[in-house]
A and B are shown apart, each in its own frame.
Chain A
């Protein structure tokens, strides 16, 4: 038994808890202490230590009776986009600063059903709109990673920046996250963690604050592929409260970790070789191809001709849906209210004060592309392009390809403040991930190695609909072959 239980993986902690060589209360207390020392990272918006200890105590009783669930006693962090009953849920926004839900999101309720312990709520970009966690109304998250010899603060990626930073800094065993254009996979890649966006419909969206409903999906961020697979099994499943959730059996995803990938056909989409791609990203991609080839997979070149249109189409579809979803924040039923001359002025003042710059910008863009006279030129055209993007994938999968391998991001993590005045340059972070949301497919980011600056780089695997198991097997093969990802030591605790 190691002295510091936060060094255990989720699977190791689960086994130690089941064997009664570790108590959930001791494990939970170790995490609560780690969170206390990590305040400079700003990963947690709300800590729930009393709730955590109460849940841990109950878990220990269940474990003592041999009645533990699949996650019994495992301390987790929850992205503050998931409604948690009786615990503030801000979505990273001033407009929901004091919002206390009276109900629980389906995905988090399934984690508690399976015995998990809630440590608190994790920071994020406001309403999940961002790729660096800098749009949070409650300050940016600082990555636990730094360049050697440098004290410059780096972004953990976004929008699930708090989730990725907390997992990489060993402040929780795993975290919930959400992904609308890359918000699970990009922060996972930036922090040397594993993140999976499952197929659209695999997880219920009920109780998750909506950004772009046709693109949003819940998923986990964890320290390795096995831990992500364990969490995925608890998070997935049909929910009558979400009409888009899919009624398919949930596999025990952990069983796919370590399964042979011999004979799997892996497509390499040539359109992902973008102009100006850094040599280290290209080299990582080649390395990933070799690892899968060595594991027995067959590599084929494929074409997804509409790839370059995915990001522009996304920046019409996502803001359009956001402008519609965020219409509910009007200062009447919940959230901030700023008084005005009349009710119209009250709406305007409330939304101007309650939304940050990026959210206001996206709501404005969305309002414009849905407005009379522009709807066909922008919104309908973007949804047609989306059909073409999905057809690209269908054609490739129909030819027998099992999964695609691409880089997860076009670069390693950048410094806080580096891109904040250039929205379009920030949007380009999602160039490799956004196609997957547009087509509703599953995608996983897995660490591949370090950049020249010794920062994590990730590879992405894109799967067929509802074939997350294949992704877990392939990601595990990469994890096995790649140099072991050594997470940073806690400089922030000094």
Chain B
């Protein structure tokens, strides 16, 4: 499989990465090189094989249903580019 230019642009949109037009064809070449590298997997017989979900047999642990954290609103917004009180500020979404 290989990707065409419209697909590269669609992936960039899905990935939320602005893609200058002059970079698209270069990136197309790189992505296709990687896709042809991974195409080797097509020759593996994976019928009746379960996909890996965890390398270590792990069971989800339960803990008491009590509050263990919180009251740290200052900490949470301290690295934000724009805040007001304890809110994150973003460009207007709804007119």
- Listed in ascending order, the chain A residues whose CB lies under 8 Å from chain B are 98-100, 102-103, 199-201, 214, 240, 243-244, 246, 306, 308-309, 312-313, 315-316, 323, 327, 330-337, 339-340, 342-349, 351-352, 355, 360-361, 363-365, 367-368, 371, 374, 377-378, 380-388, 390, 423-424, 427, 438-440, 465
Known: A243-B61, A309-B44, A377-B1. A351 touches B18 (CB 8 A): yes
**Sampled A-B contacts (23; CB under 8 Å):** A98-B79, A103-B75, A214-B52, A240-B61, A243-B58, A243-B61, A246-B56, A313-B38, A316-B41, A331-B81, A333-B79, A343-B93, A348-B13, A352-B18, A355-B17, A364-B11, A364-B12, A365-B31, A368-B3, A368-B31, A383-B52, A390-B55, A440-B56
Partner among A343, A351, A384, A423 whose Cβ is within 8 Å of the Cβ of B50: A384
Known: A364-B31, A381-B41. A99 touches B11 (CB 8 A): no
CA distance A367 to B55 in the complex (A): 23
Best-surrounded residue of B12, B40, B56 (most CB of chain A within 10 A): B56
The residues of A that contact B63 with a CB separation of less than 8 Å are 240
Q: Is B51 positioned at the interface, with any CB of A under 8 Å from its CB?
A: yes
Partner among A312, A371, A383 whose Cβ is within 8 Å of the Cβ of B14: A371
The smallest C-beta distance from B56 to any residue of chain A, in angstroms, reads 5
The residues of A that contact B18 with a CB separation of less than 8 Å are 345, 348-349, 351-352
Known: A330-B16, A440-B55. 11 other contacts (CB 8 A): A102-B78, A199-B56, A214-B54, A243-B61, A244-B58, A306-B44, A347-B16, A365-B35, A384-B52, A424-B33, A439-B55
Are B16 and A315 in contact, with the CB atoms below 8 A?
no
Are A308 and B27 in contact, with the CB atoms below 8 A?
no
The residues of A that contact B49 with a CB separation of less than 8 Å are 384, 387-388
The residues of B that contact A344 with a CB separation of less than 8 Å are 16
Known: A333-B79, A387-B49, A388-B44. A364 touches B90 (CB 8 A): no
The residues of A that contact B13 with a CB separation of less than 8 Å are 348
The smallest C-beta distance from A106 to any residue of chain B, in angstroms, reads 14
CA distance A152 to B53 in the complex (A): 44
CA distance A130 to B60 in the complex (A): 32
Enumerate B23-68 residues with CB–CB distance to A below 8 Å: 27, 30-31, 33-35, 37-42, 44, 46, 49-56, 58, 60-61, 63
The smallest C-beta distance from A363 to any residue of chain B, in angstroms, reads 5
CA distance A197 to B86 in the complex (A): 40
CA distance A371 to B14 in the complex (A): 9
The residues of B that contact A367 with a CB separation of less than 8 Å are 11, 14-15
The residues of B that contact A243 with a CB separation of less than 8 Å are 58, 60-61
Closest to A351 in B: B17
Closest to B89 in A: A332
Best-surrounded residue of B8, B52, B91 (most CB of chain A within 10 A): B52
Are B15 and A390 in contact, with the CB atoms below 8 A?
no
Are A201 and B27 in contact, with the CB atoms below 8 A?
no
Are A335 and B34 in contact, with the CB atoms below 8 A?
no
CA distance A383 to B49 in the complex (A): 9
The residues of A that contact B60 with a CB separation of less than 8 Å are 243
CA distance A313 to B17 in the complex (A): 24
The residues of B that contact A347 with a CB separation of less than 8 Å are 16
The smallest C-beta distance from B27 to any residue of chain A, in angstroms, reads 7
Known: A335-B81, A363-B15, A388-B46. A200 touches B27 (CB 8 A): no
